[in-house]
Amino acid sequence: MTYALETRGLSKSFGALTVADRIDFQLDVGARHALIGPNGAGKTTFVNLLTGRLAPSEGLVFLGGEEVSNLSQSERVKKGLGRTFQINTLFSKMSVLDNVALGVSERLGLSSGLWKTAKSYANVTEEAMSLLELLGIESDAHHIVKDLPYGKQRLVEIAIALGLKPKVLLLDEPAAGVPSMESQRILSALDLLPKDIAIMIIEHDMDLVFKFAQKITVLVQGAVLCEGSPQEIAKDTRVHQVYLGEQRA
Amino acid sequence: MSQLVGYTVDSRVRWTEYLPWLLAVLVYFLLPDYLSLGSRVLTYILFALSLDLIIGYAGIITLGHASFFGLGAYITGILAAKLGVTDPLIQLLASGLGAGLLGLVTGAVILKMKGLTQLMLTLAISALCLEVANKATFITGGADGLSGMEIAPILGLFKFDLFGKTAYLYCLFLLFLTWVVIRRLIYSPFGVSLMGIRENAARMHAIGAPVYQKLMVVYTLSALIAGLSGALLAQTNQFVGLNVLGFEPSGELLVMLILGGVGRLYGAFVGPVVFLLAQDYLAKQFPEYWYFGIGLLLVLVVLFARGGVLGILDKFTASSKARQSGAQSS
């Protein structure tokens, strides 16, 4: 079976400290998958290994069945791997529309154009605007990103990633730092995303995780502790011990 | 006049953008005694534009930009004084290409680095270029400089005259052509992606942008333009000395850009004018202490006007607009 994303024995060590320990992971096409674990479990490191931001010490990464372990971050993006960041990583002094348009233009291969003006590429701005409409932030299109509330900035993060038309989307704590009212809005936005995109979400907000995910992987100390449906994970005593105990006890 | 770049920004030339050119033409007709200084100012505007392209738009920090300026000047000088190539356009082309090639080679290393390491590398390359020019006396003239340059009339028609009229128009024409190219580039998708790199290189990687390649393109282009400005200096002065290389001219250029306003396109026009006019005036009034005046000017700008002279104008325009809209609503 071909997975949208797969890792085999993916490991990363910084000296004696192992932050990813022989992780075998599969993400089905169109999956809604959550990766959870206590702080310091290595979740963001795992995402960085998947995207090529970090080079693994060992192991392989496959995207749609094709090995991408040796490809750069930007090459993996071109092959359909999109991501958002745990801490907003936006073009904060640019408009919301330009933030998204940059990604769209990059995907369409227009960003190296030197002579025609950016404004003349109406298809780029139209597509960027339609993504903002999808996420319900089109009224903020011409606002400078740093002037937006944090929750909306999280949505801009998602809009930029969607502009890349990814086959696999990795969302690193999309609701981090967002008030609970607004995290509901983010969940609604996630529900609207195209069903053919495989999405893996890292999140500490368990309500959001259990509402969103069809499958959950629990990571502890850089290794997979267990994997299963939300119901199975909720019943797993090991998970209660290492992570869920505090929230759902 | 601050330069906004983006996918919805109107790229049509605004009326304020005609002002520098109008002023330059007026100087030609009204101040014929100052055309030599005018040529120097135009040359430094071109040089400052090349620096603004990488610092202001791409966020590449450098203290070694004079390497390209100096190389451009020396290529023209050597061609004219040693090799008998007197055609100014061939000299110009050779200087641009030579400096561009140096930019390509050094950029390949420099642009792999970030922050302080990058800054130190640019400084080191600048020091190396200075030392090579100093030691290779047989071709550069060393500390004595290169003189005896022969520059033929431009296109065989326009001879460089004593009053500097041809030189002034020649510099103005080249500056105008380069401005057209840089302005197009800034408003293009490539320009927007450069701004993206300056704002957040990590995110640019994450949207699949080949950041390193884009930086290589702009760094090489910037080096090429700096080489052209070096060639202009050599042709209009008909002399090349070691003072075109090293930290000092690089630092002075950065001061000019800061005075004018970094990342604003026209900051590169205002900065050299302010700097060179202040230098000209202060050097006459206080020959021993003129640098003190420049230093004081820089301190004042850094403390009170971070956006340079254009930043002050922007604030003034914004506050007057706010007052107008307040008056209309009340």
Q: Are B107 and B213 in contact (CB under 8 A)?
A: no
Q: Closest Cα to residue A163, out of A91, A114, A113, A211?
A: A91
Strand partners, A60: A8
pLDDT over threshold 60, residue B2: no
Within 13 Å of residue B324, how many CA atoms lie on the same side as its CB?
6
Which chain B residues have a beta carbon less than 8 Å from that of A97? 6-8
In angstroms, rounded to a whole number, what is the distance separating the alpha carbons of residues B185 and B179?
10
pLDDT greater at residue A108 or residue B315:
A108
**Other C-beta atoms lying within 10 Å of the C-beta of residue B319:** 10
* Per-residue pLDDT tens digits for A27-76: 999 999 999 998 888 999 999 999 999 999 999 999 999 999 999 999 99
Candidates A51, A78, A88, A102, partner chain B, best to mutate (most B CBs within 10 A): A102
Partner A contacted by B199 (CB < 8 A): yes
- Picking from A75, A118, A164, the nearest residue to B192 by CB comes out as A118
pLDDT over threshold 50, residue B3: no
pLDDT over threshold 60, residue A105: yes
Candidates A51, A117, A138, partner chain B, best to mutate (most B CBs within 10 A): A117
Give CA A11 to chain center in angstroms: 20
Which chain B residues have a beta carbon less than 8 Å from that of A116? 188-189
What type of residue sits at position B144? D
- Picking from A112, A124, A164, the nearest residue to B207 by CB comes out as A164
Average pLDDT over residues B290-299: 86
**Looking at residue B123, what DSSP letter applies?**
H
Please give the radius of gyration of chain B, using alpha carbons only, rounded to the nearest integer. Answer: 20
Q: How confident is the model at residue A207 (pLDDT cuts 50, 70, 90)?
A: confident
Residue B225 has φ and ψ, to the nearest 5°, of -65, -40
Gap from B130 CA to chain A (nearest CA, Å): 34
Domains and CATH numbers, chain B: 15-329 (1.10.3470)
Which is it for strands A58-63 and A32-36: parallel, antiparallel or unpaired?
Answer: unpaired
Whether residue B208 and residue A107 make contact (CB cut-off 8 A), yes or no, is: yes
The pLDDT value given to residue A73: 92
* Per-residue pLDDT tens digits for B40-86: 999 999 999 999 999 999 999 999 999 999 999 999 999 999 999 99
Q: Are B57 and B198 in contact (CB under 8 A)?
A: yes
The pLDDT value given to residue B137: 92
Average pLDDT over residues B156-173: 90
Partner A contacted by B216 (CB < 8 A): no
Which chain B residues have a beta carbon less than 8 Å from that of A146? none
The pLDDT value given to residue B57: 92
Residue pointed to by tokens 């509901």: A184
Partner B contacted by A113 (CB < 8 A): yes
The pLDDT value given to residue A108: 94
Average pLDDT over residues A137-162: 92
The pLDDT value given to residue A244: 52
Domains and CATH numbers, chain A: 5-248 (3.40.50.300)
The pLDDT value given to residue A248: 47
Question: What pTM value is reported for the model?
Answer: 0.89
| Phi-psi group of B59: left, alpha or beta (phi > 0 → left; psi -120 to 50 → alpha; rest → beta) | left
Which range, A173-182, B102-111, B286-295, B316-325, is most confident? Answer: B102-111
The pLDDT value given to residue A197: 92
Average pLDDT over residues A100-123: 92
pLDDT over threshold 50, residue B7: yes
Average pLDDT over residues B19-43: 93
Q: Closest Cα to residue A156, out of A226, A103, A77, A222?
A: A103
Partner A contacted by B4 (CB < 8 A): no
In angstroms, rounded to a whole number, what is the distance separating the alpha carbons of residues B223 and B219?
6
In angstroms, rounded to a whole number, what is the distance separating the alpha carbons of residues A166 and A69?
18
**Looking at residue B46, what DSSP letter applies?**
H
Kind plus residue range of the DSSP H or E element containing B242: none
Which chain A residues have a beta carbon less than 8 Å from that of B202? 85, 89
A170 to chain B: closest CA residue:
B206
Structure tokens at B88: 């100014």
Whether residue B204 and residue A102 make contact (CB cut-off 8 A), yes or no, is: yes
Partner B contacted by A111 (CB < 8 A): yes
Structure tokens at A52: 């090529």
pLDDT greater at residue A165 or residue A1:
A165
* Per-residue pLDDT tens digits for B260-286: 999 889 999 999 999 988 888 888 888
Structure tokens at A34: 């959550």
Partner B contacted by A129 (CB < 8 A): no
pLDDT over threshold 90, residue A100: yes
Partner B contacted by A125 (CB < 8 A): yes
Q: Are B199 and A94 in contact (CB under 8 A)?
A: yes
The pLDDT value given to residue B330: 62
A84 to chain B: closest CA residue:
B206
* Total length of chain A: 249
In angstroms, rounded to a whole number, what is the distance separating the alpha carbons of residues B242 and A128?
52
pLDDT greater at residue B306 or residue B329:
B306
Q: How confident is the model at residue A238 (pLDDT cuts 50, 70, 90)?
A: confident
A79 to chain B: closest CA residue:
B208
Average pLDDT over residues A101-107: 94
What's the farthest any 2 CA atoms get from each other in chain B?
75
pLDDT over threshold 80, residue A185: no
Which is it for strands A168-172 and A198-202: parallel, antiparallel or unpaired?
Answer: parallel
The pLDDT value given to residue A243: 63
The pLDDT value given to residue B198: 93
Average pLDDT over residues A159-170: 92
